[in-house]
Amino acid sequence: DAKTTQPPSMDCAEGRAANLPCNHSTISGNEYVYWYRQIHSQGPQYIIHGLKNNETNEMASLIITEDRKSSTLILPHATLRDTAVYYCIAPRSAGNKLTFGGGTRVLVKP
Amino acid sequence: SQTIHQWPATLVQPVGSPLSLECTVEGTSNPNLYWYRQAAGRGLQLLFYSVGIGQISSEVPQNLSASRPQDRQFILSSKKLLLSDSGFYLCAWETGSSEAFFGQGTRLTVV
């Protein structure tokens, strides 16, 4: 799998936007970037994925740089329920397995 | 719609006892199936990966084994549990072209 690098933790104020960075400099041209989050004691939940273009859904927006070496997940108005570990992965490479790194532990504070 | 069932939700087992965790998927065919373990405060460790019936890839040496007797059934087993087998076990499926779906997990405590 293409290696992804994320900051281990970050805090965010409730109601503000949370911008979560991810570096994936070894990603191949046809490899999607996926974002998941894991709320304590639950299984990971899919958030969004993208290839080249920016993507938006009801949960978040995904901004992918033109060279595709990094991306940013944006939670536009963070709530306390967004407190979770957020994982950025790029699984569609040799081996094609879904493996997770350490993720970013996001704490939304009131 | 696709669903994934994983049971039991919690399990307390003595050291040396056997283990069997089952995961079944509905609403899809020929999924890729996964077993993960998560120790307290740690990340998701991939244990087993299967692309088809009887095809199991073990990712780390360990005290556990996996089997896939049917297309949408994935079983995690152990003949003799160790204390270090305690953790949160998650089953997941995906088709290689979209997102993955996870079960609710089994919290195993070996005592």
Q: Which candidate from B43, B99, B102 shows the least CB-CB separation from A43?
A: B102
pLDDT average, residue stretch A42-47: 93
pLDDT average, residue stretch A29-47: 91
Return the pLDDT at B43. 87
* Spans of chain B, pLDDT less than 70: 1-2
The burial class, CB within 10 Å (0-12 / 13-18 / 19+), for A105 is middle
Taking 60 as the threshold, does the pLDDT of residue A94 lie above it?
no
Taking 90 as the threshold, does the pLDDT of residue A62 lie above it?
yes
Taking 80 as the threshold, does the pLDDT of residue A1 lie above it?
no
Q: Which residues of A touch B36 (CB under 8 A)?
A: 100
> B96 — contact with chain A (CB < 8 Å)?
yes
Return the pLDDT at B68. 97
Cβ–Cβ gap B34/A98 under 8 Å: yes
pLDDT average, residue stretch A58-81: 95
Q: What residue of A is the nearest CA neighbor of B49? A: A97
- Rounded to whole angstroms, the Cα distance separating B37 from B44 reads 6
pLDDT average, residue stretch A78-100: 84
Return the pLDDT at A93. 53
Phi/psi of residue A74, nearest 5 degrees: -115, 120
Return the pLDDT at A26. 83
Q: What residue of A is the nearest CA neighbor of B90? A: A43
pLDDT average, residue stretch A54-67: 95
Q: A56-95 as b/e, with b when 16 or more CB fall inside 10 Å? A: eeeebbbbbeeebebbbbbbeebeeebbbbbbbbbbbeee
For residue B98, give the DSSP letter.
Answer: S
